Structure 1
């Protein structure tokens, strides 16, 4: 008896293939004239780019969503954002629930891989809670944003704009229906704080969200996981550091914070300190930021959000393990310890592998972007910024995305795809793994490092 088609693929392969297939479907829809405003059109590469950016919740755009696409086209983008943020396999499970179909064991394994769950057992119940939590967060965000958008746009348009931006923010997508993004809201505390809260919540990670909620409801029985403590600590540290450094480097910059009064400077500094964590929204023009801010933003974009979240990057836990492992080695400690628990060596090796593969991918992408930079029309720092933004699925840009040629657009859409599914997932999915290795070679201790 032949196995069902989906069961012939392991979880990493299925994740990679379903993302690729959905991108193609989304690109086809966005290419069709029925999704465009009157007089607007896209090339095949542009349609692929927009579909990849939406599904990989990046936010880089070669066409303005609000003026290029009609309502149907915008809803296609919104659907891709929601599907990409939660995960395609996770979404497939939702339809299985609706149809009343039972989830078999192989499907549970794929679900656990999709949401970065620690165990297969209970993963179906976890998925239900993730959907309910996501729905609640997006609806509350819509209601709060509507307080501001309805007076601006009217009831129907205002509610639609509030819902679109709430979904985009929670899924860390960074897409906006306004031609200048959120630049017009730099002095609006309601929009800034609601968008920031949704971004932080979405980038927290599904496992962490459910863990904190369970601990809040049952503090005596449901403890906060070490994983949650690690990623929340790194999140808080990066948010504080990002805010302070942006304020420090941009305080007197006439192109960003310089013209703003004190209160608005602090609000804008907080928002821009938050947004490199794969959010993609910005309330000041990143085309005018200083070189120190460019450097810091690139580092933060590379680190990204938490595992199992709607964000990208190498992930906060990977960064933490890499840094603590290096510190432990320098101090001569044999084990890596975090919050009173020893971190397994396999975890350290995995973190180092993710970091190295990601660094290699970004460098390769940057080299290709420079090769495709005909006549040196774009500066090195702007291409570097754009490359890391694509890999980290961030969506921030120094105003160069619309100036990219088709070759550069293809390079970035591949980076967005690999950044969303993860370079290690892709390598495991299609690497040639030898399962029959039975020979173990003697260790060599005379290899000098450093």
Structure 2
């Protein structure tokens, strides 16, 4: 015997009144679908704003496709540009780009939750699920306090970064312009966007330790992932009460290893290149090599010309870009944990071990399958779009390696370029727009989509072990 439903109260009525069309839409779609939809709408809104003449620089004109490309690059925190943000957009246009970077880095749904909290609206369970999806949280239970901490942490770090950068930009640009440049580049760095307000990006700061190191550490912090950052801070404040998670240990280890490998790669392979490191002193060579190793983790700033680098250096750069940053961060790529699980599972099979063990813990089979799925889908997406870039290429001056570099950079939301982005035709620009969009929401969305519904198999077929592999 079932009990009758409870009577509707005035609180229920008020809740129904407050539930608008966006809430109804959100309740009908899955978290991955809502993330994809929110970014698509945000890109269109940003493109509409950047198309307005009042956002353009004096005597400059920006087409809708160029505005769409810029909005996608900003909201997807990439940094690729078909126009020059320093000249083609005025201060209002640059503020729009800055807002898109901040919203894109933290996540549109995350901002919507903060607005709900400010208006004292209750965040229901389905919204918490979507939030957990957005920030790669382990559970939906504590996601609202987590969002508060993420916002507080983000604005504190960006504020400190802006103050430090102001020490260089204010003397160079004056108080008003210098402070804006400091804020813009701090937000761009922490969100791993790579947008710069200088036409040569950061080439002029190749030997500047203040700008290079502050920007590099902002990029590293943004690429670590919010859960890792908060876990590390809590552990440092109270080691006994808050232990370092296995996920934190993994991402910190991978970040350190990749930064070291990248630094040694640039230092060794470009040491005698007269167009990159050769003219610099030892200190500047070390600084420039470390900076390039950091920015390939999906940041997009550059103090060296990637168009002048050797093929071996570019190949290592492509690998580092494809791996990307950590889960739940402002960076892109397949993510460090995905790469580790893929490599560790392959190595375990080569050694004849059935399970992957990490810091005394076993990585379950579902995680391995999810990592393999993300990796294979990402490789397939990049290769498919790269082939389309080749098919639609009409400029004989654009090299094969330049297009592949552009494809990986767009997918991994890095923003580095071999100076080929402004040379692309409209069809190729559309392809990069799709790559940036899918790269920002793709690996996470794919991973969740394949695990969002676990349907019970009513029939289990006999295993077949006679299929030859390798």
TM-score using structure 1 length:
0.97
User: Is the contact made by 2:370 and 2:447 (CA closer than 8 Å) also made in structure 1?
Assistant: no
**Aligned pair in 2 of structure 1 residues 11, 381: CA closer, same or farther (>3 Å)?**
same
Correspondent of 1:190 among 198, 210, 217: 210
Match of 1:441 in 2: 461
Segment of structure 1 superposing worse, 18-27 or 35-44: 35-44
Secondary structure at 1:376's aligned position in 2? Answer: coil
Greater Cα radius of gyration, structure 1 or 2: 2
Return the alpha-carbon distance in structure 2 between the equivalents of residues 265 and 86 of structure 1.
33
Match of 2:316 in 1: 296
1:374 shift after superposition:
1.5
1:188 shift after superposition:
0.6
Secondary structure at 1:329's aligned position in 2? Answer: helix
Return the alpha-carbon distance in structure 2 between the equivalents of residues 6 and 411 of structure 1.
28
**Aligned pair in 2 of structure 1 residues 262, 424: CA closer, same or farther (>3 Å)?**
closer
* 1:6-45 to 2 correspondences below 5 Å: 6-45=26-65
* Residue ranges of structure 2 left out of the alignment (5+ in a row): 1-15
User: Is the contact made by 1:418 and 1:426 (CA closer than 8 Å) also made in structure 2?
Assistant: no
1:378 equivalent in alignment to 2:385:
no
Secondary structure at 1:17's aligned position in 2? Answer: helix
Question: Following TM superposition, where does structure 1 have runs of at least 4 consecutive aligned residues deviating by more than 6 angstroms?
Answer: 430-434
Return the alpha-carbon distance in structure 2 between the equivalents of residues 161 and 149 of structure 1.
7
TM-score using structure 2 length:
0.93
1:150 equivalent in alignment to 2:167:
no
1:377 shift after superposition:
3.3
* 1:72-83 to 2 correspondences below 5 Å: 72-83=92-103
Correspondent of 1:5 among 7, 20, 25: 25
1:423 shift after superposition:
3.7
User: Is the contact made by 1:149 and 1:159 (CA closer than 8 Å) also made in structure 2?
Assistant: yes
1:343 equivalent in alignment to 2:363:
yes
Report the number of matched residues: 450
Larger relative contact order (C-alpha < 8 A, sep ≥ 6)? 1
* Residue ranges of structure 1 left out of the alignment (5+ in a row): none
User: Is the contact made by 1:16 and 1:429 (CA closer than 8 Å) also made in structure 2?
Assistant: no
CA offset digits 1:323-355 (Å, max 9, x no partner):
100110000111110000000100000000000
1:98 shift after superposition:
1.2
Return the alpha-carbon distance in structure 2 between the equivalents of residues 438 and 99 of structure 1.
47
Correspondent of 2:228 among 194, 203, 208: 208
**Aligned pair in 2 of structure 1 residues 434, 44: CA closer, same or farther (>3 Å)?**
farther
User: Is the contact made by 2:46 and 2:96 (CA closer than 8 Å) also made in structure 1?
Assistant: yes
Return the alpha-carbon distance in structure 1 between the equivalents of residues 210 and 25 of structure 2.
48
Cα RMSD between the aligned structures? Answer: 1.7
1:41 shift after superposition:
1.3
Return the alpha-carbon distance in structure 2 between the equivalents of residues 432 and 108 of structure 1.
15
Segment of structure 1 superposing worse, 405-414 or 94-103: 94-103
